[in-house]
Amino acid sequence: MNANKSWIIKTWLILGLIPIIHGCQNLDNSDRMNVTELKCESLINPLGVDVSEPGLSWILESDEKDQFQTAYRILVASSEDKLADDMGDVWDSEKIDAGQSNQIRFEGKKLTSGKDYYWKVKAWDKDDIESDWSEVAMWSTGMLSQSDWKAEWIGLDKAVGDDKTDTEFRQLSARYLRQEFKIEKPVQRATAFICGLGAYELYLNGDKVGDHMLSPGLTDYSKRSLYVTYDVTGNIDQIDNAIGIILGNGRYFAPRIKDPFPTVDYGFPKLLLQINLEYEDGSTDVVISDENWKLTPDGPIIANNEYDGETYDALKEMPGWNRVGFNDSDWMDVEMVESPSKELSPQMTEPIRITETIEPIKITEPQPGVYIFDMGQNMVGWTELTVKGKAGTVVKQRFAESLQDDGLLYLDNIRSAKVTNEYTLKGEGIERFVPRFVFHGFRYVELTGFPGKPDLSTIVGMVIHDDLEKTGDFTCSNPMLNAIYKNAVWGIRGNYRSIPADCPQRDERHGWLGDRGTGSRGESYIYDISNLYKKWLTDVFDSQKPNGSISDVNPAYWEMYNDNVTWDGTPVILVDMLRDQYGDTKVISDSYPFLKKWVDHMINSYLKDDIMPRDSYGDWCMPPKDPKVIHAKDPDLLTDGNLIGTAYFYHILTLMEDFAGFTDKHEEAKYYSELASRMKIAYNKKFLDTTRIEYSNNTATASILSLAFGLVPDEYRQKIFDNLLYKTKIENNSHISTGLIGQQFFNRMLSETGEDDLAFTVNTQEDYPGYGYMINNGATTIWELWNGNTADPAMNSQNHVMLLGDLLIWMYENLAGIKSDPEQPGFKNIIMNPALVSQLSYVKAWHKSRYGMIKSEWEIKGNQFEWKVTIPTNSTATVYVPGVKEPKHVGSGTYTFSSEIDIKIN
Ligand code: BGC
pLDDT digits (tens, 9 = 90+) for 503-542: 999 999 999 999 999 999 999 999 999 999 999 999 999 9
Is the pLDDT confidence value at 18 over 90?
no
Which atom of ligand 1 is found nearest the CA of 740?
10
Is residue 740 in contact with ligand 1, taking CB distance under 6 Å?
no
pLDDT band with cut points at 50, 70 and 90 for residue 12: very low
Residue 118, strand partner residues: 77, 138
Interval between CA 786 and ligand 1 midpoint (Å)? 14
Q: Omega of the bond prior to 19 within 30 degrees of 0, cis?
A: no
Would you state the pLDDT for residue 614? 98
Separation of 72 CA from ligand 1 center, angstroms?
47
Give 260's pLDDT tier (boundaries 50, 70, 90): confident
- Contact by Cβ (8 Å): 895, 21: no
Query: Which of 251-260, 402-411, 436-445 shows the lowest per-residue confidence on average (mean pLDDT)?
Result: 251-260
Ligand 1 within 6 A of CB of 507: no
User: Which of 109, 99, 106 lies closest to 51 in space, CA to CA?
Assistant: 106
427-464 tens-digit pLDDT? 999 999 999 999 999 999 999 999 999 999 999 999 99
How much is the average pLDDT of 211-222? 98
Ligand 1 within 6 A of 467 CB? no
* Nearest-angstrom CA–CA distance, 186 and 279: 6
Helix (H) or strand (E) holding 249: none
**672 contacts 650 by C-beta, under 8 angstroms:** no
**Calpha distance 424→702 (Å, rounded):** 57
Among 459, 167, 210, 515, CA closest to 307: 167
Q: Is 512 in the pocket of ligand 1 (CB under 6 A)?
A: yes
Over residues 59-109, the pLDDT tens digits come to 999 999 999 999 999 999 999 999 999 999 999 999 999 999 999 999 999
| CB burial of residue 753 (10 Å; 0-12, 13-18, 19+) | middle
What does the angle CA 631 – CA 632 – CA 634 come to, to the nearest 5 degrees?
Answer: 155
pLDDT score at 262: 84
pLDDT class of 30 with cuts at 50, 70, 90: low
- Find out whether 493 and 436 touch, Cβ atoms under 8 Å: no
Side-chain half-sphere of 75: how many Cα atoms within 13 Å?
22
DSSP-derived pairing of the beta strands 154-155 and 224-231: unpaired
Q: What is the mean pLDDT of residues 131-137?
A: 97
Q: What is the CA radius of gyration of the chain?
A: 29
Spatial separation of the C-alpha atoms in residues 832 and 854, rounded to whole Å = 10
- In tens, the pLDDT along 737-769 reads 999 999 999 999 999 999 999 999 999 999 999
> Rounded to the nearest whole angstrom, what is the distance from the C-alpha of residue 562 to the centroid of ligand 1?
14
Average pLDDT over residues 15-24: 32
Q: Is the pLDDT of residue 654 over 70?
A: yes
- DSSP helix/strand/coil, 673: helix
716 pocket-lining for ligand 1 (C-beta < 6 Å): no
Helices assigned H by DSSP within 361-507: 479-494
Residues 322 and 208: their CA atoms lie apart, in Å, by 10
* b/e per residue 428-452 (b: at least 16 CB within 10 A): eeebebbbbbbbbbbbbbbbebbee
Contact assessment for residue 36 and residue 59, using Cβ atoms and an 8 Å cutoff: yes
Give distance in angstroms: CA of 83 to centre of ligand 1. Answer: 51
CA atoms within 13 A on the CB side of 823: 6
716 φ/ψ sector (left φ>0, alpha ψ -120 to 50, else beta): alpha
Catalytic residues, by residue number, are: 508, 784
Q: Would you say residue 253 has pLDDT above 90?
A: yes
Question: What is the percent of the chain where pLDDT is above 90?
Answer: 93
Q: Distances in Å between the alpha carbon of 566 and those of 519, 742, 801? A: 13, 11, 17
CB 732 within 8 A of CB 694: no
Of 844, 855, 806, nearest to 523 by C-alpha is 806
Distance 746 CA to ligand 1 centre (A): 21
Residue 502 alpha carbon, nearest atom of ligand 1: 9
Name the residue of 512, 617, 798, 800 whose CB sits within 8 Å of the most ligand 1 atoms, as the mutation to test its pocket: 512
Query: Rounded CA gap, 65 and 881, in Å?
Result: 19
**Number of other residues whose CB lies within 10 A of the CB of residue 66:** 15
User: How many whole angstroms from 902 Cα to the centroid of ligand 1?
Assistant: 46
Separation of alpha carbons 786 and 139, rounded Å: 46
Give the separation between CA 202 and CA 246, rounded to whole angstroms: 7
Question: Does residue 719 sit in helix, strand or coil?
Answer: helix
> What is the pLDDT, as a whole number, of residue 701?
98
Q: Quick one: pLDDT at residue 883?
A: 87
CA distance 251 to 576: 30
Starting at the edge strand that comes first in sequence, how are the strands of the sheet with 332-333 ordered? 207-208, 199-204, 240-248, 175-182, 294-296, 332-333
Contacts of 858 (CB under 8 A, 6+ apart): 817, 834, 836, 842, 843, 865, 866, 867, 868
Q: 186-223 b/e with 16+ CB inside 10 Å = b? A: ebebbbbbbbbbbbbbbbbbeeebbebbbbbbbbbbbb
Note the pLDDT of residue 414: 95
Nearest to 343 by CA among 555, 551, 560, 531: 555
CB of 640 sitting under 6 A from ligand 1: no
Q: Please write the tens of the pLDDT for every residue from 714-745.
A: 999 999 999 999 999 999 999 999 999 999 99
Beta bridge partners of 409: 403
Region 872-894: mean pLDDT is 96
Measured at the CA of 534, the angle between CA 528 and CA 536, to 5 degrees, comes to 105
Q: What is the C-alpha to C-alpha distance for residues 700 and 744, in angstroms, rounded to an integer? A: 12
Q: How far is CA 883 from CA 8, 862, 865, 900, in A?
A: 9, 15, 10, 8
CA dist., res. 496 & res. 879, Å (int): 34
Whole-number pLDDT of residue 10: 32
Ligand 1 nearest atom to the CA of residue 512, by list position: 10
Q: What is the pTM of this model?
A: 0.95
- Helical spans, DSSP H, in 569-713: 570-582, 586-606, 641-662, 666-687, 700-708
Q: Of 515, 558, 803, which is best to mutate to test ligand 1, by the most ligand atoms within 8 angstroms of its C-beta?
A: 515
C-alpha dihedral sign at 521, 526, 532, 534:
positive
Q: Compute the average pLDDT of residues 604-630.
A: 96
- What tens digit of pLDDT does each residue of 675-688 get? 999 999 999 999 99
Closest of 839, 865, 845, 837 to residue 756, by C-alpha: 837
Q: Where are the alpha helices (DSSP H) in 190-235?
A: none
Calculate the CA 219 to chain-centre distance: 15
For residue 617 and ligand 1, the question of a CB distance below 6 A is answered with: yes
Alpha helices in 585-640 (DSSP H): 586-606
Q: Give the per-residue pLDDT at 238.
A: 81
Compute the distance from residue 512 Cα to the ligand 1 centre, in Å: 6
Report d(CA 544, CA 367) in Å as an integer: 51
Helices (H), 169-279: none
Ligand 1 atom 8 nearest Cα: 502
pLDDT for residue 905 is more than 90:
no
Is the link from the previous residue into 248 a cis peptide, with omega within 30 of 0?
no
Q: What is the mean pLDDT of residues 135-160?
A: 96
For residue 514, the ligand 1 atom closest to its alpha carbon is 10
Instruction: Provide the mean pLDDT of the chain.
Output: 94
371 backbone φψ class: left, alpha, beta (φ>0; ψ -120 to 50)? beta
Residue 512 in 3-state DSSP? strand
* Residue 2: band (very low, low, confident or very high) from pLDDT cuts 50, 70, 90: very low
Residue 71 DSSP symbol = E
Measured CA distances, 10 to 7, 14, 865 (Å): 9, 11, 11
